[in-house]
A and B are shown apart, each in its own frame.
Chain A
Amino acid sequence: EDKVVQSPLSLVVHEGDTVTLNCSYEVTNFRSLLWYKQEKKAPTFLFMLTSSGIEKKSGRLSSILDKKELFSILNITATQTGDSAIYLCAVEARTETSYDKVIFGPGTSLSVIP
């Protein structure tokens, strides 16, 4: 059965700290790994990773994928209170009926305190 595991499930840090969020997966017919930030209801897209070893970067956020170890990390440097959110890792997989479905992990709840 396809699954996505994230750790830690929750994290409290002080402003300015650097955090690393982990995501591991087991899926059949992997297509891509996606990171989202969820503050209220709808997640907002952060990164899509398809190739191993290529870091994606956006401001203070960066992410990398290891397809051999079935693992990805999301780094946030110099955290700010506005980074407080749930970070969702998701994996897109091709199904037997040839459409892509997305399986979400449980999320990491990050709280950044001043």
Chain B
Amino acid sequence: SAVISQKPSRDICQRGTSLTIQCQVDSQVTMMFWYRQQPGQSLTLIATANQGSEATYESGFVIDKFPISRPNLTFSTLTVSNMSPEDSSIYLCSTRVNTEAFFGQGTRLTVV
């Protein structure tokens, strides 16, 4: 199994600023995934982060807006840049260990 510590758990930010979300895994994992869940919607994959290489972004998401770091096999960050109210969402990191997926506790972001 894997335990993921995600922080911050929530934040309220001014538009135009940036927020970095961190996820720490208690074991080494190959892939980490970042999701967004906008109000009333399901989880949407933002990008997949593999240690030592650039993240792979899904359609509709770009590196300039959501830069991701993956400096080692236990840690990853997602930055939400130049925020607007439309970025208000829950952001979740996730990983896989064998056949099971594990999630961080989520970050509830409100942009005002």
The reply on A74 being an interface residue by CB < 8 A is: no
Q: Are B42 and A104 in contact, with the CB atoms below 8 A?
A: yes
Give the docked Cα–Cα distance between A90 and B50 (Å): 21
Give the docked Cα–Cα distance between A100 and B106 (Å): 21
Interface pick from A37-45, A59-67, A75-83: A37-45
Q: Are B44 and A104 in contact, with the CB atoms below 8 A?
A: yes
Q: Mark A87-98, 1 if CB is under 8 A from B, else 0.
A: 010100000010
Give the docked Cα–Cα distance between A102 and B58 (Å): 12
Interface pick from B13-21, B74-82, B97-105: B97-105
Q: Are B42 and A107 in contact, with the CB atoms below 8 A?
A: yes
Q: Are A48 and B100 in contact, with the CB atoms below 8 A?
A: yes
The B contact surface, by secondary structure, is strand
Number of residues from B at the complex interface, CB < 8 A: 24
The reply on B90 being an interface residue by CB < 8 A is: yes
Q: Are B48 and A42 in contact, with the CB atoms below 8 A?
A: no
Q: Are A43 and B99 in contact, with the CB atoms below 8 A?
A: no
B33 to chain A, nearest CB (A): 7
Give chain B's interface residues, CB within 8 Å of chain A.
Answer: 31, 33, 35, 41-45, 48, 50, 56, 90, 92, 94, 96, 99-106, 108
- 15 interchain pairs (CB within 8 A)? A42-B106, A44-B103, A90-B43, A97-B56, A99-B31, A99-B48, A99-B50, A100-B31, A101-B45, A101-B48, A102-B45, A102-B94, A104-B42, A104-B43, A107-B42
Give chain A's interface residues, CB within 8 Å of chain B.
Answer: 32, 34, 40-45, 48, 88, 90, 97, 99-107
